[in-house]
Structure 1
């Protein structure tokens, strides 16, 4: 097996933003496009302090393509870019990334593995027919039927209606908030609850997670916990209203209803699930407090409404949300499910 040197590729979307792809792994293996969540980055798949997803995939013969879409904390758009919704990610970022990967892998099998908000955008793109010819999709945490707790719903409402009208973005690193910052009281409110003594950790849970635990503490390597401020950067509040709309509908819905530029996206992705033309694996931790049992619900709904689809659901015992990828034991507890799914469906395309 020939391993290529890591390669960084910059590409531009149709609406003019420069995004990044990193290619790592075997030169001629099936390809896996890895899609992160909001406010983190593709680094969540390649943490150096643990046996990470890209290492496991490489050992299994897969070439990883790590995407940094416009919601990545490694790009400037959360802080200084134009406002965006998941419609933009689904219409511009994901199809453009797929085109870049396809241009370099030819007819080799191509999978998508997506986490959280990234998985919602993949659901939009996939049901719009904008991601054709995939060998399979893995969606972690949520896919077509977003569902959160009542307390989280209220925090999303507060964030979109009150905070969002006054603040465009938030930092996760509590140390960057000065004592005399106009946001000091907001940060103090967002980070005041929680058992962990690290204020950045509390900020991550109660700011990014809207009050829900994003991961099980016991599953993180101490070195990962110590660098949470690096892994979570600036987050844009612009998508909050769209997320609120989706959660209220318990479905992935289009935000830009009256804008012809987004007409390619379905008004309700669940109503067009029959356009999904590849197998789907829905993953979730049994302690996922961010999206509760969204993927279990999705599996039940699709089994009833679209029994012809190849959709399966796997729960990871004792795991929460983000620790399914950044947990120190994820290589043993989680990634085997990914590899088994990829192996099954790449063999069918060989």
Structure 2
């Protein structure tokens, strides 16, 4: 019997799938990987923060190059393992690679966006990514290691590389933004002024209206996001029309599978306002910058990652959707800047027609339109 396209039914179909439970207190990771098993290697970063790391283990093959996948802020490793679509982890397996999934401290599968010690993106660059790379290398030996990174995952990776904390990668794919963050025009004013006003009134903005409540402080942003919206779903509105109140948009609506659309509140978590000042500083500089000054723990990070881009020692593929309404043409600008200032670097830029910010990974057609660019790049440098 054909199921009617009612959100609650598709959500129940998804929730009925078996969960791959993870240790470390992470929310269960759901995936459809054609029988491949997921092995978990949770670890503590040097500052004591507990993080999630998992290997998608191919059947009886320990010779494949490894690929570390880095999600964006408030998303999670689940964006690479969607069970309702052809996901990136499965595509990498079929292409002969071994995917590794990092849930860094900004993951919605971890609690740090809502409670626990506050952090800046410096902590991700200094601790999470370099230590995850070390964890993976300790298990793969001398095999090549690539990184595929999205949004803030890519920005913080760029700082780790510019600091010389992550070296010797076989190649990097950075989606959406890398060294030169530049917000979509409509999002600049809300990001620089609106979020500063909100930061003193609430600690984070949720995406699930049921959690916010009708009379909460957060309901105002839901009301603003609903203005002119074509979709009646409040979570879609605050992500597609507003991106947590910034006026940006995370995806092209028609690119999402219905099941993905119906569980956006599971794929994206609350956005903490305590990271906004660092993000704003980066955007104003159009460069990834260090936030913590006068603290010796962060002395390894340069003041400006772009000034040390010559430390990047591997090929880089910069990807971006042509309709990216969060970071606009940041990666196109990055390509122009790097090829001009550092012509010795192997950097290329590819634009995906008809895609926005996050749908190059979670879109229902991403396997056909996007993943081939990634695997072709990896194949060239494996």
TM-score, with length taken from structure 1? 0.95
Residue aligning to 2:126: 91
Q: Provide the residue aligned with 1:202 in structure 2.
A: 237
Paired residues of 1:153 and 1:244 also in contact (CA < 8 A): no
Partner of 1:18: 50
Change (3 A) 1:331 1:234: same
- The one of 176, 192, 213 equivalent to 1:178 is 213
Q: Is this contact kept in 2: 1:174–1:203, CA < 8 A?
A: no
The alpha-carbon distance between structure 1 residues 256 and 268, as it changes in their structure 2 partners (threshold 3 A), is: same
What SS class does the counterpart of residue 119 from structure 2 fall into?
coil
Match of 1:290 in 2: 326
Q: Choose which of 232, 255, 260 in structure 1 pairs with 2:268.
A: 232
1:146 to 2:184 alignment: no
Post-superposition CA distance 1:223-245 (Å, at most 9, x none): 11011111111221111111111
Which sections of structure 2, spanning at least 5 residues, go unmatched?
Answer: 1-34
Q: Which moved more, 1:84-93 or 1:147-156?
A: 147-156
Please provide the CA RMSD for this pair: 1.4
Deviation of 1:167 (Å): 1.2
Distance 1:272 1:83, change over 3 A: same
Instruction: Tell me how many residue pairs correspond in the alignment.
Output: 344
Q: What's the counterpart of residue 108 of structure 1?
A: 143
Q: 5 Å matches for 1:73-92?
A: 73-92=108-127
Q: Contact 2:206 / 2:244 at 8 angstroms: preserved in 1? A: no
Q: CA deviation at 1:33?
A: 0.4
1:219 aligns with 2:255: yes
Tell me the residue number matched to 2:300.
Answer: 264
Match of 1:242 in 2: 278
3-state SS in 1 of match to 2:235: helix
1:59 to 70, 84, 94: 94
Aligned-pair distance for 1:148?
Answer: 1.2
Determine whether 1:130 maps to 2:165: yes
Q: State the Cα distance separating 1:247 from its structure 2 match.
A: 0.6
- In the alignment, the residues of structure 1 paired with residue 362 and residue 55 of structure 2 have an alpha-carbon distance, to the nearest angstrom, of 19
Gaps of 5+ in 1: none
Distance in 2 between residues matched to 1:237 and 1:182, nearest whole Å: 14
Describe the shift of the 1:37–1:159 C-alpha distance in structure 2 as closer, same or farther (beyond 3 A): farther
TM-score normalised per structure 2: 0.87
